[in-house]
Chains A and B, each alone.
Chain A
Amino acid sequence: MVGILSLTLLTLLLTAVLTFLSGRYAKFVALAGSLVFLAEVGLMIADFTQWAGFGAGGVPQYNYSETYPWISLAWLHINYTVGVDGISLILVLLTAFLQLATVVYSWNESKSPALWFGLVALTGLGCFGVFVALDILLFFLFWEAVLIPMFFMIGYWGGPRRRYAALKFFVYTHVASIVMLVSLLALAFYSGASSFDFGSLYGPARTLMPATQVVLFLGMFFGFGVKFPIVPFHTWLPDAHVEAPTGGSVLLAGLLLKLGGYGLIRWAVELLPTGAHDLAPLLYLVAFTSIIWGALVALAQRDLKRMVAYSSINHMGIVLLAIAVGSSLGITAAVLLMFAHGVVSGLLFMVSGSVHHTFGTRDVSALGGITPRTPALATMVMLGALASLGLPALISFPAEFTALLATWDQLGYWVVVPLLLLVVTAAFYLWMMQRVLFGPPKGIPPTAHDLPRVELAGMAILAGLAIIFGVLPGLLVHVIVSSPISGWP
């Protein structure tokens, strides 16, 4: 009997393969596959009442888990093990929505559509795999599998400097992957476990000596951190975003950055709590640096996409901060914020892409007063910007509020740093809106017209999510807290 997770993996694999093969019907296949994917995730969430809890010997259990032997050596078992808890389920939900939104948004893609939609499906597959894999090798396979479609998306559909950006993206994240893999393997060997399974590593890893934990955690922090990205290993991100096609940017910001956050929580913090605790000062330092640096540099950008990219660095810095805090409030906030950022940055990158198609430029200083000509696009710009600067009733607010409350709880007055940067975040978005949306019209070509329906529909999916979960964040939090997070030191 195949479980629902394997079924979903199979769906995604099938979607990707069929899409590659189906020529000009590729978009329909991709859409159907995405809808089935979403339905399967919906089923999982509807059926998910409670995290499976700790089993015998304090080994965490996972919902919908499946284990099949894969590679067996005398001293080591590598299994195909998948399973979810609240944290991974929420990120799986994000994957399903973002894949759907990207397919819808890029419906009219005319350059090698079969290849494009196939790569979108492949990205969804890789991300889904990362979120559900509970075996080191399986996890690493999916982790690496995500790089390939993104490399081609940037390199083939990208802007003028696409080759450079794609290579930079690949080299950076690949070097980080290797460090991560070495750390994970070392973790497995040091802990003396006979299998790569998360469950069998859990107990032994957590009881490793503090110094070992610190060294291993450091390696994983670098490996996962580059994906975040953390300052100063972040410069691949703005380049990748600026050159990436819109759909690529959406998946890159919305999903790929989340892999880092998820990996850090699941494979580093959960397995090496003492290491996380001892290195918390370093994590705080890096988080604060990213928060400050992202917001300040964003303030100086004139390219809409670069601005959004740097604001991503700022927001992911808050995610890292919340992870570093480590209380159940902090981890919950981190996951909620990852979901929020996935939705909002996806929306903002769609908006940037549409501004570029419509007006031929993303330069904030070259545009002005676009509202009367393109009211729908202007509304989406505004919604995205307001969501990103943390307006209540939109999704980022509950996440940022809980993250900063958790920070105050652990760090006291240091919380003033991210708080003050909230003003800077507001400043660059408001300044952008003032210049692009308001004032007398400027830089509008006579042929400019409002959003095509598919682009509006893609944005509407994400905007709807931002509003629904902004008003009712409890729906997500209810799932997230059903994870082994409350038992942490």
Chain B
Amino acid sequence: MSVLTPLLAYAGLVPLLTFLSFVLVGFLGNRLKGLEWGGWIAVLLSGAAMVVGTLVAVAEMLSPGQYTDVSYTWLTVPGSPGTFPNGVSLVIGFLVDPLSALMLLVVTIVGFLVMLYSIGYMHHDHGLPRYYAELSLFLTAMTGLVLADNLLEFFLFWELVGVCSYFLIGFYYEKPSAASAAKEAFLVTRVGDVLFLLGIFIYFATYATAGGGAGWAASGFKFANGTQPFLGPLVGTNTPLLTVAGLMILGGAAGKSAQFPLHVWLPDAMEGPTTVSALIHAATMVAAGVYLLAVTSVFLGFTPDDQFAIVAIGGITCFFAATMAVVNTDIKRVVAYSTISQLGYMVLAVGAGVTMVGMYHLFTHAFFKALLFLAAGSVIHAVGTQDLFKMGGLRRTMPLTAGAFLVGALSLSGIFPFAGFFSKDDILGSVFQAAQAHPAYWPFFLLALATVFLTSYYIFRAWFLAFGGPAPRDASLPTAHEGPWVMRVPLIVLSGFAIAAGFFVFDPAFASLLPGAGVPPTYTATDLGLSAVSLGLAGSGIALSYTLWGNGRIAAAPTGIAAQMRTVLLNRYYFKVGYDWIGRRAVYTVARSADFVERYVIDGTIRGFEKLFSRGSDLLRRAQTGIVSDYAGYVVAGLVGVLLLILYVGPAIVQSMGGG
């Protein structure tokens, strides 16, 4: 208990504050020119949200392991025989536990810094009220997701962050590429969402009557029951149904966190403003998939088969995405691929059973990745291009940005003592340990280890290309300059986090947000050896990068098989082409055929009948003699017919069908 503990019940204030910002800016934005079209209102309210969010997190640190849940009934349906004998309650609530406190810290801090940075970065754009309103709505949905106290609510906010991401990727909607990227992101994640829904159904139905009270279903399917998990750790063995449920959750997470094979949308999402990339497509929303896996593993549990699948997806993704970053020439996309790759590390950790280590990496990654994006944004803001090969020598004109990007790059590469070093080494060490118990994990551990080399290589290649050398390679670029203070302050603050966030865990209060993670690392001889190996790999990546691209050098284009590999990588392993084919050719062709059948077969048959009837009615017209007694005869005949039908034919049919 501490002074702050009562605050835990008011965590719902955080989404409310940003929602207020959404309403104010959304409805008044066009009249708020003096406040940068409402931008300052958004900064102020997201700042307030950050203060509350941080205090809530601190309160949770001071009373470790506490679960505080405040929930409201959304709808209640009474029971009927079947799976839900006690009825179904759906609730909306706010749960503060170590997991959500950690996420709340990340989301509100990065959210506020990005909002502040936007004031400078977006200054010249049109449609600013829309921008700030959408960003505020995003923060509302994201904090709602973080605090969700059941899977349905999680899904609800999950979809809302998705639609905000859709709006913001398509912020420059006049650009066809932006409109198309927005649609692609929505659709690809929708595939994951559908799987996620199926997973929810399975969990809900399987455990409907489990737990205390009238059972889980009647209690709103909540994660926590007062001060402890509602269902407890459930799963130790493989049952097919639960394995499927876990896989479906993994599918949902893969869509949102851009994991193989649903990774295609994230690089294209870079069509949105860079601030959006930093907040949504690096630090927070894309990490929601990892958060979902973490929440599920804590409150519901995965089967061993699920865990293997998660490890495999994580391991493959982290390597696979890194290879594509190696050849890319767009500064934002390089960072985007590194995001996919780092998310792969987190997924790997959750799969290997060290959930909190994955969350630890999520925490440090949020800061150094937001930093990298905002630094890249500074560059784009200054020179107006994203092409690394047109840049060069920018460290002379933009020393702060160059320094910030360097800090981010060192942290991403996992160089001691930057934040990324601690969390990534924790992952490698824990997976190494897990692999000794589960030999099937070995290949994915090795992929993760190899990725360390690729990571430091590609991110320093980007740094050398943009900031190294004497001057920009494209002389037509405008002379670069640093942004205004609103852009510089976030860079400095985030640099601080990217350097220091790794040390937080040495504070026992903070480490209480990561229960069971075994952080700070124990540093046995094996761990130290592994650290040495990974540092060596990272260092040689930097060295190779310097040899090829340092001091303004441009490496010669590869030839032979290497050139072919480069083409494959630049085409992203042809995944996008394949998905486009499925969407545009396969499904659309089926739809067109259905439309053809609809028009000419189904409706055609009907028209055939119409013709038949109009011919037939010509014949029948001859029965219309105009003589009343004839008609009376028809009426009597008809009545008799109906009576016969009801009295004799009907029962006969019924009897023949086995009735009595």
Residues of chain A having any CB pair with chain B under 8 Å = 185-186, 189-190, 209-212, 214-215, 231-232, 235, 293, 296-297, 299-301, 327-329, 332, 369, 371-372, 386, 391-393, 397-398, 401-402, 404-405, 408-410, 415-416, 419-420, 422-424, 426-427, 430-431, 433-434, 437-440, 472-474, 477-478, 481, 485-486, 488-489
Residues of B within 8 A of A189 (CB): 646
Binds A, one of B175-183, B524-532, B567-575: B175-183
Chain A residue nearest in CB terms to B613: A171
Whether the pair A420, B194 counts as a contact (CB closer than 8 A) is: yes
Whether the pair A296, B591 counts as a contact (CB closer than 8 A) is: yes
Residues of A within 8 A of B180 (CB): 434
Asked if B226 is at the interface of the complex by the 8 Å CB criterion, the answer is no
Whether the pair A488, B160 counts as a contact (CB closer than 8 A) is: no
Residues of B within 8 A of A489 (CB): 81
**Given A415-B201, A486-B79, A424 contacting B587 (CB threshold 8 A):** yes
CA distance A305 to B160 in the complex (A): 27
Whether the pair A404, B77 counts as a contact (CB closer than 8 A) is: no
CA distance A393 to B144 in the complex (A): 12
Which residues of B150-189 have CB atoms within 8 Å of chain A's CB atoms? 152, 155-157, 159-160, 163, 170, 173-176, 178-180, 182-183, 186-187
Asked if B522 is at the interface of the complex by the 8 Å CB criterion, the answer is no
Residues of A within 8 A of B588 (CB): 299-300
Binds A, one of B33-41, B83-91, B493-501, B547-555: B83-91
Whether the pair B163, A391 counts as a contact (CB closer than 8 A) is: yes
CA distance A209 to B651 in the complex (A): 11
Of A185, A211, A371, the contact of B658 (CB 8 Å cutoff): A211
A222 to chain B, nearest CB (A): 15
CA distance A212 to B76 in the complex (A): 36
Whether the pair A423, B194 counts as a contact (CB closer than 8 A) is: yes
Chain B residue nearest in CB terms to A410: B82
Residues of A within 8 A of B78 (CB): 328, 481, 486
Whether the pair A416, B198 counts as a contact (CB closer than 8 A) is: yes
Complex A-B: 29 CB contacts under 8 Å = A189-B646, A209-B659, A211-B655, A214-B657, A235-B603, A299-B587, A328-B77, A391-B160, A392-B155, A392-B157, A392-B159, A397-B159, A402-B77, A402-B88, A405-B205, A408-B202, A415-B201, A422-B190, A422-B194, A427-B587, A430-B183, A434-B183, A439-B173, A473-B74, A473-B75, A477-B75, A481-B76, A486-B80, A489-B81
CA distance A346 to B178 in the complex (A): 30
Chain B residue nearest in CB terms to A293: B594
Whether the pair A419, B198 counts as a contact (CB closer than 8 A) is: yes
Residues of A within 8 A of B592 (CB): 300
Asked if B595 is at the interface of the complex by the 8 Å CB criterion, the answer is yes
| B interface SS class | helix
CA distance A212 to B659 in the complex (A): 7
Residue in A398, A438, A477 whose Cβ sees the most chain B Cβ within 10 Å: A438
**Given A300-B595, A415-B201, A438-B179, A329 contacting B163 (CB threshold 8 A):** no
Whether the pair A427, B174 counts as a contact (CB closer than 8 A) is: no
CA distance A424 to B386 in the complex (A): 34
Chain A residue nearest in CB terms to B659: A211
B393 to chain A, nearest CB (A): 36
Given A185-B646, A296-B591, A402-B90, 8 further pairs, Cβ under 8 A: A231-B602, A293-B594, A300-B591, A369-B174, A391-B163, A434-B179, A438-B174, A478-B75
Asked if B516 is at the interface of the complex by the 8 Å CB criterion, the answer is no
CA distance A263 to B328 in the complex (A): 61
Residues of A within 8 A of B82 (CB): 327, 409-410
CA distance A299 to B187 in the complex (A): 14
Chain B residue nearest in CB terms to A375: B130
Asked if B265 is at the interface of the complex by the 8 Å CB criterion, the answer is no
Asked if B437 is at the interface of the complex by the 8 Å CB criterion, the answer is no
Residues of B within 8 A of A231 (CB): 602
Whether the pair A296, B173 counts as a contact (CB closer than 8 A) is: no
Whether the pair B159, A439 counts as a contact (CB closer than 8 A) is: no
**Given A296-B594, A297-B598, A474-B73, A405 contacting B173 (CB threshold 8 A):** no
CA distance A391 to B165 in the complex (A): 13
Asked if B3 is at the interface of the complex by the 8 Å CB criterion, the answer is no
B649 to chain A, nearest CB (A): 11
Chain A residue nearest in CB terms to B201: A408
Of B73, B88, B659, the contact of A329 (CB 8 Å cutoff): B88
Residues of A within 8 A of B606 (CB): 235
The A-B contact count (CB < 8 A) is 166
A107 to chain B, nearest CB (A): 25
Residues of A within 8 A of B88 (CB): 329, 402, 405
Whether the pair B174, A439 counts as a contact (CB closer than 8 A) is: yes
Whether the pair B183, A431 counts as a contact (CB closer than 8 A) is: yes
Residues of B within 8 A of A477 (CB): 75-77
Residues of A within 8 A of B73 (CB): 474
CA distance A142 to B235 in the complex (A): 56
Chain B residue nearest in CB terms to A400: B197
Whether the pair A438, B173 counts as a contact (CB closer than 8 A) is: yes
CA distance A489 to B163 in the complex (A): 40
Q: Which 8 A-B pairs have the closest CB atoms?
A: A211-B659, A438-B179, A300-B595, A299-B591, A392-B156, A408-B201, A328-B80, A300-B591
Chain B residue nearest in CB terms to A301: B595
Chain A residue nearest in CB terms to B158: A392
Whether the pair A440, B183 counts as a contact (CB closer than 8 A) is: no
**Given A296-B590, A300-B594, A397 contacting B156 (CB threshold 8 A):** yes
| Per-position 1/0 for B595-630, Cβ under 8 A of A | 100100011001000000000000000000000000
Whether the pair A438, B646 counts as a contact (CB closer than 8 A) is: no
Asked if B232 is at the interface of the complex by the 8 Å CB criterion, the answer is no
CA distance A423 to B192 in the complex (A): 10
CA distance A17 to B138 in the complex (A): 51
Whether the pair A329, B187 counts as a contact (CB closer than 8 A) is: no
Residues of A within 8 A of B591 (CB): 296-297, 299-300
Chain B residue nearest in CB terms to A392: B156
Chain A residue nearest in CB terms to B92: A471
Chain B residue nearest in CB terms to A302: B595
Asked if B653 is at the interface of the complex by the 8 Å CB criterion, the answer is yes
CA distance A427 to B189 in the complex (A): 12
Chain A residue nearest in CB terms to B170: A438
CA distance A408 to B208 in the complex (A): 13
Chain A residue nearest in CB terms to B660: A209
CA distance A305 to B590 in the complex (A): 21
Chain A residue nearest in CB terms to B590: A296
CA distance A163 to B79 in the complex (A): 49
Residues of A within 8 A of B198 (CB): 408, 415-416, 419
B155 to chain A, nearest CB (A): 7
Of A214, A426, A488, the contact of B80 (CB 8 Å cutoff): A488
B554 to chain A, nearest CB (A): 36
Asked if B398 is at the interface of the complex by the 8 Å CB criterion, the answer is no
| Per-position 1/0 for B100-125, Cβ under 8 A of A | 00000000000000000000000000
CA distance A433 to B170 in the complex (A): 11
Residues of A within 8 A of B157 (CB): 392
A291 to chain B, nearest CB (A): 13
Whether the pair B174, A440 counts as a contact (CB closer than 8 A) is: yes
Residue in B81, B156, B173 whose Cβ sees the most chain A Cβ within 10 Å: B173
B420 to chain A, nearest CB (A): 35
CA distance A327 to B85 in the complex (A): 10
Whether the pair A332, B77 counts as a contact (CB closer than 8 A) is: yes
Whether the pair A427, B84 counts as a contact (CB closer than 8 A) is: no
CA distance A401 to B198 in the complex (A): 10
Chain B residue nearest in CB terms to A424: B587
Residues of A within 8 A of B155 (CB): 392
Of A212, A299, A393, A423, the contact of B190 (CB 8 Å cutoff): A423
Of B595, B658, B660, the contact of A297 (CB 8 Å cutoff): B595
Residues of B within 8 A of A212 (CB): 654, 659
| Per-position 1/0 for B52-90, Cβ under 8 A of A | 000000000000000000000111111111111001101
Whether the pair A404, B201 counts as a contact (CB closer than 8 A) is: yes
**Given A409-B205, A486-B79, A440 contacting B657 (CB threshold 8 A):** no
B423 to chain A, nearest CB (A): 32
Residues of B within 8 A of A293 (CB): 594, 598
Residues of A within 8 A of B163 (CB): 386, 391
